[in-house]
Each structure stands twice: as C-alpha cells, then as structure tokens.
Amino acid sequence: MTTTFDTTTLTVTIDGRRIAARTGQTVLEVCRENSIHIPTLCYDPRLKPYGGCRLCIVEIEGLRGYPTSCTTTVADGMVVTTESEALFELRRSVIELLLSDHKVDCLTCQSSGQCGLQDTAYEHAVEMPRFSGELHVEFIESENPLIARDLTKCIMCGRCVRICAEVEGRYVYGFTDRGFDSLPNTPYGVPLHDAYCEFCGQCVSTCPTGALSNKLGKFKGRIWEVEHTETTCGYCGVGCTLDVSTKNGKVIDVTAPLERGVNGGNLCAKGRYGWGYTHSPDRLTTPLVRRDGELVEVTWDEAIAEIAERLTAIRDEHGPESIGGLASAKCTNEENYLFQKVLRAGIGTHNIDHCARL
Amino acid sequence: MTTPPEETVIAPPALVEIRVCTGTGCIANGSLVVADRLESAIAQAGASDRMRVTRTGCHGLCAQGPVVVTAPEGVFYPGVDPDHAEAVVRALLDGSGPVTEMLYRETPEEEPIARYADIPFNARQHRIVLRNCGVIDPEDIDQALRAGGYSGLRHALTDLTSDGLIEEIKASGLRGRGGAGFLTGMKWELARQSVGDQKYMICNADEGDPGAFMDRSVLEGDPHSVLEGMAIAAYAIGASEGFVYCRAEYPLAVRRLKKAIADAAAHGLLGDNIMDTEFSFHVGVREGAGAFVCGEETALIASVEGDRGMPRPRPPFPTTSGLWAKPTCINNVETLANVAWVVAHGAKALAAIGADDSKGTKVFALTGKIRHSGLVEVPLGLTIHEVIDEVGGGCQGARPTKAVQIGGPSGGCIPAHLFDTKIQYDTLLAAGAMMGSGGMVVVDDTTCMVDLARYFLTFTQDESCGKCVPCRVGTKRMLEIITRITEGKGRDGDIEELERLADVAKKASLCGLGQGAPNPVLTTLRYFRDEYEEHIHERRCRAAACAALSTYVIDADICKGCGVCKKHCPVSAISGQIKELHEIDPDICVKCGVCETRCPFDAISRM
Ligand SMILES: Cc1cc2nc3c(=O)[nH]c(=O)nc-3n(C[C@H](O)[C@H](O)[C@H](O)COP(=O)(O)O)c2cc1C
Ligand code: SF4
Ligand code: SF4
Ligand code: FES
C-alpha cells in the first residue's frame, strides 16, 4: 500500500538510536527504512497492516504489552525496543506454534530457500519445535494448470485473501471456519476456476510459505540454482518489471521484485504465467514469406523489401485509403509513434488502430 | 428528575395489575399461556376495567418460572400453572388475600412468603439496571414513560451541555459493564475530542459468554432504557447515528428493540430534532450471527461493516477510528441502561452505591449448582459469599460449594475459601478472575476443576477467529494437553507446558479473546494445582467427573442382588446372580451412569 505521508518529521528512538520518521509511518516501516530488522510473516508492503502473525511485536514505552510494529504508527518521542529476551522468546514460541501445525516438507517444497517460515525459524534457532499436536485440515487443490494450493502448509497469514481483495478487487478467497480449522478458501471450497479466479497469481506472489506455489516452475529448479534476469514485460505499455528465473538457459518462473519498478511486485496473469511461448516449438524466430503457396524463411532485409514493394503497389493501384495499420499495445510509445508515421507520412492514410485489448 | 416528558399523554394505569414474566426463560416455561388464561379469567369475571395483565420482562428468579407478581400488593406466585389463573384472579377480586398454596417458600417446610420483595433472593439486591424489568410491559412505551423513561435524556438535552454531561458521567464513577471496565465518561470524552464529520454510537448487545443473559434480559424487559442511554451518549460525543449490534439468536430482544425504536421515533424521542431540540439521532439494529469474538469491539465494527468479524489491533481505538474509520463509541447494554438512570438521578446517586473503584451495581447471571439460579443485581462491593449464599441461597443439594467461575471464558475460578473476596474490578483481577460481563457459575465437589478449565478452553478455541497464531494454535495445543490430562494420559511436564503456552497466548494474542483464554487454566492451576497433579501422577479425578479416571462401584453392603443394573447396562459390564452381590467390570464399563440411576437401593456410586 502506498501511503501518502504528511511531510512533518518526528523523532523516535529505536533501540537507542534517534531516528527521523514521518507522520503516518508505522514503526515497522521506519525500522525497514533504517535497516533495523524485525521478523514478519503477515506483512506485505502492498497490503494494509494486519497484525495477525504477531512476529513483529516490539516494546514501546507507555504502551501496554507487546504492540505489533506493522500496525502501530509512530508518534513523536516514541521509544521503541525491537530486541529483548522477552521478545525473542515470544517470537520463537509463535514460530514453534506455527511449525507444530505445519507439514514440514522442506525437502522438496518449492518454497524452500525462499520461505518466510523457514527463514524466521532459522533466525530463531528453532531446531525441534517444543510444541506438537494435531495438524489442521488437509486441503490440496491442483485442478488448474497454474496455481497449486497445499493449505496443509498454510500459516493463515491472510496475505492471499487480502491481496485478492485489496489489490485485485477480486475477492476469490475469504476465511472459512473458525479457530484451529480456519483456512483461506474459496466460497464452499470450490476450485479456483469456479471461483472467478483470473489466475493473476498475486496470491502466490505474496504467500510466505509453500502453501501457494506456481505450478509451471515446480520441480524445474531450486531457488539457489536459478539465474535471475531483470527485464521489462513485453505484453503491454505499462512496462512492469519482471524477474525471469532461468535454469540451463530455460525460463522456469517469472516473478516481480517488490522494491523496484512501476508494478512494485504486482503482475497480471500474462506477465506472470504467459511465458510459455519462449521455448515453444511453434514460435516464429525468423520472418516467413509465402512463395508459391509455401512459407519460406527469409532475412529481415528481404522481408521488409517485400512489404515495401507490395504496399507501394497496392497504394498506387487502389489509393492510400485502401490500407490500414494495426499497432500494438505491446510496442513502446516510440515504436507506436514510428508506426503511425509510416502510415501517415509514408503511405498517406489515417487508418490506424491498435489492439490495446490484450 | 423522574417526571415524564410533559408533552406525552400517558394512559392511566389500571388499578390492579398482574405482571406475568415474558422473558425468554418464563416463556419457555409456558408464561404466555398463563398470561392468556389470566386475561380470560379477568374478562369472565367482568373485571377488565379494574384489572389488567402486563407482560413484563425478566423478574430474575428464572428457575421458578412462570413468574407472576401482582401490583400494587407485590404478591409473588412462582411456577404458575395455567389452571391456577382463575384462582389468582378470584383472590384479587374477592379480597381474600394471596392464594397461600401457590405462594413461594424457601424450602417446602418453611412458611410461605407472600411478597416478591420479601424473599431472601431480593434482600441484598439493588435494581438500577433492572429497575423496570418485571415491572413494565417492554412493548408499551407509555409504561416506560410512566416509569420515568427518557427523563434522563430530557434533562441532558435541556439542562446540560455535552461537556457537562460527560463530567456528570465521570463523576458517577460508572465503568463499562461489557468486560474491561473502562471508565464510561473517559471513553465519551475521547470520542468527543476526536475530530470527525460523522461519529457513531454503538450498543454492544452481542453477549456471547456461555451462561450469560444479563443483556438479553435488559433488552427484552426494558429496551427503552438502553435506547435512552444511547441517545444520551450520542448527544455527549456528537453522534447522529447509532447501531445496536445484537445476536440474531436473541429474536425476542431484537423484535422488542425494533418496536421500541419505532415507538420512540413516533414519540419524537429518536430521529430528527429530538424533543424539539437541535439534536438528531437515528438508531438501527444490526443482527450478528452469534460469534463470540464479534463482541470484541473491533470485530464488531468489522461485522457491522459487512466483513468477517475479526479483530484488528488497537491503537487506533474506535474512539479515534471506528466504524467506517469514523470516531465511534461502543458501550455495553448494561452500561447504557445505567447511563439513563445516572443522568436522571444524578452522579452522586450512583457514586453512593458500591465501593472504591467500583461504583454502582452489577447484574450477574447466577447459574450452576446454586439454589436460586437467575438474574441478580447487587451493589458492587458485596462479597462473593454474600451473593452466592444470601442472594443465591447457597449450593444446590447437600454438597459443599467448591468454587465459582466468574467472568466467563476469560474469567477465572475462585475457590470457596476466598469467598470473602469483594466483587470489585481490582479485587477480582487480583484473584485471577475478572468482572467480565457477569457470568457466575457455582460448582460443587462433583465438578473437576481440570475438566472445567477444559470446558472453557474448548469454547474459546472454537470461537477463536483464527487470525493470530498464539490464540489459534496456542489455545489448541493447550486444549490438547488439558484433554489428555482429563483422559488420564497426562505426562510429566504437561503443567509446565500449559503454563508456557498460557504465557504466550496471554502476552502475544491480538485481542482479548486470546489474551484471556488461558485464565480459566491459570486460575485452576493457581488454586487447584493438586487436582492437575493427581490426574497426571495418580491417574485420579477426585470429583469422579473425568470419565476415563472414574469407575462405578457397587456397595456390597447395600446391594440386594435384584439385577436391575445388570438388565439396564447397555454394554453388559455387570455380572452377578439374582440375590447375590453384583459386580461391574471396569474394562467394559463406558461410564454412562445408567446403573447408578436405575439401582433401586442407591447401591451404586461413581468414584
Ligand atoms: C472476546 C471478547 C468478547 C466480548 N464480548 C462482549 C459482549 O458480548 N458484550 C459487550 O458489551 N462487550 C464485549 N466485549 C468487550 C468489548 O470489546 C468492549 O470493551 C465493550 O463493549 C465496551 O463497552 P463498555 O465500555 O460499556 O463495557 C468483548 C471483548 C472481547 C475481547
Ligand atoms: S495460503 Fe499463503 S498467503 Fe494465504 S493465508 Fe496461507 S500462508 Fe498466507
Ligand atoms: S486473539 Fe484469537 S480471536 Fe483475537 S484476533 Fe487472535 S485469533 Fe482472533
Ligand atoms: S507482520 Fe506484524 S503481525 Fe505479522
């Protein structure tokens, strides 16, 4: 969530450091800006503060108990402690509780190495959780080709529910049941494709565990094996920043970095999942010209010469109004400018449209 | 101050009134039929001009329903059979005095007590909140007005500024009756000081504690007192709109409330320009689906907004950012019923009742092993002993009282040896319990304290909203441990693990539900730790309440060998020849208790 801040600056003291903050910022935001680490699981900067996982608790002078830093806004003169024995013990217990209700499946879990639960457990030196007991309801959905849901690994952070509602406005998920059995689920637990899901995968992007994962990349590569290439999505003019994961020269997953780009971690269904064409055997990799009813591979120079020749002939015979051009929202502004120039100045027609309805 | 509003024309009272309780409890016992029969008896006697039946709210002594009280004499008939309606009417008409056989007796041997006010149950009570319950017909606004209804609002609107009103409530010392005991005047002041183009006043009528029915009784018996309190609060904080959030499982309360709102609006007591002043206040009812957590104020707000009732962290408090992010004041039903009285009678009147930090009265729902279960209103500062033994008539049956559970699922168990504890906010907290909403469950030595804690934990775990980890998973783990203890499978270290989990849930849970959930366990550990230890180390339940740790035994000296037990045992666990001692095989016995109830000689007992 981007928040518009008051420009008023305040001074807060965090772990003994005096730090300038802006009105409206949360304690967690101020800490992050100043490289003070606080563990979190239900926090995602794209979403409204929630306060569910309880890992980000801190001590604040004058406030009772252990307020959550992700939900508490700073006040001038606030004195915050982010690390103490009591905090460490409470956070550690919370992690142990989560693990006591978790299918600990790190061996082959797609999220291993990029899992919030794994990281916080490691950080708090949890070897064997002290608590154990029944696991919450087993729920696995994999009827669709894109999103795998294994809610046995769900920690109920609510991020999927919230991103679908707050960012996508889609409300595919809600919480079902109460207490230990509560789950982020579709109405009546129907499969995603029956719940008006548009498969943008935003829920997967925010899930801190392996409860939601991208099927396309599953078992294709571990996070530490892949190469990351940052690039811009070619699907439309928004130009979202992509992080393309490749292994052995093959794309296995596409994600978006939270901290960079116009999209700030968000992607649509095409940007996230529409990369199947890259390695498709049907993909056109050189221009083709039909000669005697057969498509024949040619060079770009040959192809462009052919187009110029044929368009000129048509214009001369039928007039410029007989020609129209369809540009693409996948092109940049500059490319579209040049395209209309070819049609207007080169051919002499205003018949230009585009396909910004991807 | 209790003069009714001048403009309103009020029908004159009938000379003789027969008040029939039509609270949910008495209705369940058939009071509506009793009321109908009384009416036909009056009509038949041709006395309709002098005599009237009033269908009132709860009288308090629910266990003795249907309750009938005559006015003005105040003669009390408990457990009235519809067939006795005529006798009641006849006695009133011929002036022969109360029908002795129908009167109340403390015990069958004792002399009857004629007047309701004179029974020991009422001796220590002080009815402020319940002032009109059992007295007026809650569906008749004229009766409410005659009883002084809306005079507090009139006084506030005509004689007091908002600030003056807040000062008055502060001076009374009134604290919220919904659980936390926050000072009402202070809360109003915070809401008043918050900046907002729109403010809301909400009445919390969710009442989800198991066994609690104070708020329901007030709404069913005197809804106008709550609406009046809301309007006064709204005037104080500057709200023009309000909601009553009531569970849909209280259909009678909802119906009476809606009627009261419509009637008050028709009388110019709610709506635009109330009592021809600048002040406007509109009230709506929102029905909740009965989740305990929706009583928590932020979850309540989420529910009113149409979302799933899940709490959110505070700050911001609702007084700053509440319903639809506007400043919102939330008060409990009982708090608001007090408000109207305080404004009408003055702050000093309330401050004169009660003790120290706890002013006024508190309504309690007395249940469990107590002789007079029902609804009582007592001044704060009485001891637990005074409420249980003097008002409640002591333990039901011959067994000794063991403890009282006060404050619902977030409250605690106070053992009998601490019954001198005064019922005040701070003293109860110090004893490990809390005032809560006012549930009081009395238990005797047939209740196992471990099992009692398990019961409350089962409730809170079921009702947890699932949002935060310490409550959702922590209380589940606690429940698993305590369940295995009651099943005789407790292990070394279980008590310590319970304490560790309780500490996490208390300190790290988001809302009061999770923070309070360990209390029943912690107080039973504090006062009855030996019972936990016996379960774990000796596999013994001294109350013989835990099925896995108790057996049924036939007393050899009493058994006549009649064979009745053997015949009725559903799992054939009993063997023995006729006229010879019978025996129960504990390995087959499922502890259903059928034999115990069937034995004609009381030779079988659970131990
Ligand atoms: C789990 C939970 C359940 C609650 N249920 C109720 C309830 O049923 N009725 C109520 O008035 N307050 C309830 N409360 C307390 C409210 O949050 C709030 O404090 C109260 O309504 C404020 O009113 P008061 O100041 O008049 O007491 C509950 C609190 C918690 C944590
Ligand atoms: S599925 Fe993932 S994002 Fe959704 S609640 Fe569970 S852990 Fe959180
Ligand atoms: S303490 Fe329990 S009821 Fe309250 S927010 Fe947490 S999970 Fe929900
Ligand atoms: S990150 Fe603050 S409670 Fe989860």
Tens of pLDDT, residue by residue over A55-105, are: 999 999 999 999 999 999 999 999 999 999 999 999 999 999 999 999 999
- State yes or no: pLDDT of B423 exceeds 90: yes
H/E run at residue B175: none
Q: Are residues A236 and A157 located together in one domain of the fold?
A: yes
Q: Which residues line ligand 3 (CB under 6 A)?
A: B 293, 311, 464-468, 471-472, 509-511, 513-514
Decide if A93 touches B, using CB distance below 8 A.
Answer: yes
Give residue B295 CA to ligand 1 midpoint distance, Å: 5
Q: Are residues A152 and A265 located together in one domain of the fold?
A: yes
- Atom of ligand 2 lying closest to residue A157 CA: 8
ipTM of the complex, rounded to two decimals: 0.88
Q: List the one residue out of A39, A331, A351 whose CA is nearest residue B469.
A: A39
Q: Are residues A134 and A261 located together in one domain of the fold?
A: yes
With beta carbons under 8 A apart, name residues in chain A contacting B321: none
CB distance A72–B501 less than 8 Å? no
Could you say which of A24, A55, A83 is where a domain stops?
A: A83
SS (H, E, C) B220-271: HHCHHHHHHHHHHHHHHHCCCEEEEEEECCCHHHHHHHHHHHHHHHHCCCCE
Q: Does the CB atom of residue B334 touch ligand 1 within 6 A?
A: no
Q: Are residues A136 and A191 located together in one domain of the fold?
A: yes
Cα(A84)–Cα(A284) distance, integer angstroms: 60
Decide if B470 touches A, using CB distance below 8 A.
Answer: yes
With beta carbons under 8 A apart, name residues in chain A contacting B474: 93, 97
Strand partners, B444: B401
Cα(B165)–Cα(B156) distance, integer angstroms: 7
Decide if A16 touches B, using CB distance below 8 A.
Answer: no
Would A90 be classed as within a structural domain?
Answer: no
Q: Are residues A162 and A294 located together in one domain of the fold?
A: no
Would A253 be classed as within a structural domain?
Answer: yes
When scoring B292, B473, B477, B496 by the number of chain A Cβ atoms within 10 A, the one with the most, hence best to mutate, is: B473
Three-class DSSP category at B518: coil
Q: Does the CB atom of residue A41 touch ligand 4 within 6 A?
A: yes
Positive/negative CA dihedral, A115, A117, A122, A128: negative
B474 near A97, Cβ under 8 Å?
yes
How many domains does the structure of chain A reveal? Answer: 4
Strand partners, B200: B241, B328
Cα(A183)–Cα(A135) distance, integer angstroms: 12
SS (H, E, C) chain A: CCCCCCCCEEEEEECCEEEEEECCCEHHHHHHHCCCCCCCCCCCCCCCCCCCCCCCECEECCCCCCCECCCCECCCCCEEECCCHHHHHHHHHHHHHHHHCCCCCCCCCCCCCCCHHHHHHHHCCCCCCCCCCCCCCCCEECCCCCEEEEHHHCCCCCHHHHHHHHHCCCCCCEEECCHHHCEEECHHHCCHHHCCCCCCCHHHHHCCCCCEEECCCCCCCCCCCCEEEEEECCCCCCCCEEEEEEECCEEEEEECCCCCCCCCCCCCHHHHHCCHHHHCCCCCCCCEEEECCEEEECCHHHHHHHHHHHHHHHHHHHCHHHCCEEECCCCCHHHHHHHHHHHHHHHCCCCEEECCCC
With beta carbons under 8 A apart, name residues in chain B contacting A59: none
Its domain, for residue A302, covers: 284-318
Stretch B543-554: mean pLDDT, rounded? Answer: 90
- At A315 the pLDDT is 96
Q: Are residues A49 and A138 located together in one domain of the fold?
A: no
Q: Are residues A137 and A239 located together in one domain of the fold?
A: yes
Q: Are residues A36 and A147 located together in one domain of the fold?
A: no
Could you say which of A223, A258, A279 is where a domain stops?
A: A279
- At A1 the pLDDT is 47
Q: List the one residue out of B322, B315, B286 whose CA is nearest residue B301.
A: B322
| Percentage helix, strand, coil for chain B under 3-state DSSP, each rounded to 5 | 45, 15, 40
- Copy the structure tokens of residue A344: 């207007």
- At B2 the pLDDT is 45
A289 near A296, Cβ under 8 Å?
yes
Scanning the structure block, which residue is given the tokens 């002041």? B189
Cα(A134)–Cα(A198) distance, integer angstroms: 34
What's phi and psi for A342, nearest 5 deg? -55, -45
Per-residue pLDDT in tens (0 to 9) along chain A, 358 residues: 445 555 678 999 999 999 999 999 999 999 999 999 999 999 999 999 999 999 999 999 999 999 999 999 999 999 999 999 999 999 999 999 999 999 999 999 999 999 999 999 999 999 888 899 999 988 888 889 999 999 999 999 999 999 999 999 999 999 999 999 999 999 999 999 999 999 999 999 999 999 999 999 999 999 999 999 999 998 887 889 999 999 999 999 999 999 999 999 999 999 999 999 999 999 999 999 999 999 999 999 999 999 999 999 999 999 999 999 999 877 888 999 999 999 999 999 999 998 765 5
Cα(B124)–Cα(B117) distance, integer angstroms: 10
Which of B312, B461, B469 faces A179 most closely, judged by CB atoms? B461
Q: Are residues A226 and A255 located together in one domain of the fold?
A: yes
Three-class DSSP category at B279: coil
How does strand B361-368 pair with strand A59-60? unpaired
CB distance A51–B508 less than 8 Å? no
Q: Which residues numbered 200-229 in A keep a CB inside 8 Å of some CB on B?
A: none
Three-class DSSP category at B39: helix
Give residue A182 CA to ligand 3 midpoint distance, Å: 12
Nearest CA to ligand 3 atom 4: B511
Would A124 be classed as within a structural domain?
Answer: no
Q: List the one residue out of B451, B456, B465 whose CA is nearest residue B433.
A: B456
Would A104 be classed as within a structural domain?
Answer: no
This prediction has a pTM of: 0.90
Give residue A52 CA to ligand 4 midpoint distance, Å: 6
A136 near A101, Cβ under 8 Å?
yes
A5 near A23, Cβ under 8 Å?
yes
Give residue B494 CA to ligand 3 midpoint distance, Å: 24
Cα(B607)–Cα(B598) distance, integer angstroms: 17
- Copy the structure tokens of residue B552: 């049924």
With beta carbons under 8 A apart, name residues in chain A contacting B310: 175
**Nearest-neighbour CA in chain A from B210: distance (Å):** 17
Return the best residue to mutate from B461, B473, B509 for the ligand 3 pocket (most ligand atoms within 8 A of CB). Answer: B509
Q: Assign residue A268 the CATH number of its domain.
A: 3.30.70.20
Q: Are residues A301 and A183 located together in one domain of the fold?
A: no
| B107 or A311, greater pLDDT | A311
Chain A / chain B CB contacts < 8 angstroms: 103
**Nearest-neighbour CA in chain B from A96: distance (Å):** 10
Would A113 be classed as within a structural domain?
Answer: no
Decide if B467 touches A, using CB distance below 8 A.
Answer: yes
Decide if B529 touches A, using CB distance below 8 A.
Answer: no
Burial class (CB in 10 A: 0-12, 13-18, 19+), B574: buried
Which of A72, A93, A179 faces B466 most closely, judged by CB atoms? A179
Domains, chain B: 5-119 (3.40.30.10), 141-349 (3.40.50.11540), 355-444 (3.10.20.600), 449-538 (1.20.1440.230), 551-606 (3.30.70.20)
- By C-alpha distance, the chain B residue nearest A90 is B504
Q: Are residues A273 and A182 located together in one domain of the fold?
A: yes
Q: Are residues A222 and A138 located together in one domain of the fold?
A: yes
**Nearest-neighbour CA in chain A from B392: distance (Å):** 35
Return the best residue to mutate from B410, B457, B459, B468 for the ligand 3 pocket (most ligand atoms within 8 A of CB). Answer: B468
Would A173 be classed as within a structural domain?
Answer: yes
- At B24 the pLDDT is 87
Scanning the structure block, which residue is given the tokens 């209390």? B519
Q: Which residues numbered 33-52 in A keep a CB inside 8 Å of some CB on B?
A: 49-52
Would A116 be classed as within a structural domain?
Answer: no
B316-375 residue pLDDT tens: 999 999 999 999 999 999 999 999 999 999 999 999 999 889 999 999 999 999 999 899
B248-281 residue pLDDT tens: 999 999 999 999 999 999 999 999 999 999 999 9
- Copy the structure tokens of residue B529: 């730790």
Nearest CA to ligand 2 atom 6: A154
Stretch B584-588: mean pLDDT, rounded? Answer: 91
What's phi and psi for A211, nearest 5 deg? -65, -35
Return the best residue to mutate from A147, A157, A177, A181 for the ligand 2 pocket (most ligand atoms within 8 A of CB). Answer: A157
Would A28 be classed as within a structural domain?
Answer: yes
Nearest CA to ligand 3 atom 6: B468
How does strand B604-606 pair with strand B552-554? antiparallel
Cα B148 → chain centroid: 25
Decide if A182 touches B, using CB distance below 8 A.
Answer: yes
SS (H, E, C) A131-158: CCCCCCCCCEECCCCCEEEEHHHCCCCC
Give residue B471 CA to ligand 3 midpoint distance, Å: 6
Q: Which ligand ends up closest to the CA of A91? A: 4
With beta carbons under 8 A apart, name residues in chain B contacting A52: 467-469, 510
**pLDDT classification of B14: cutoffs 50, 70, 90:** low
H/E run at residue B313: none
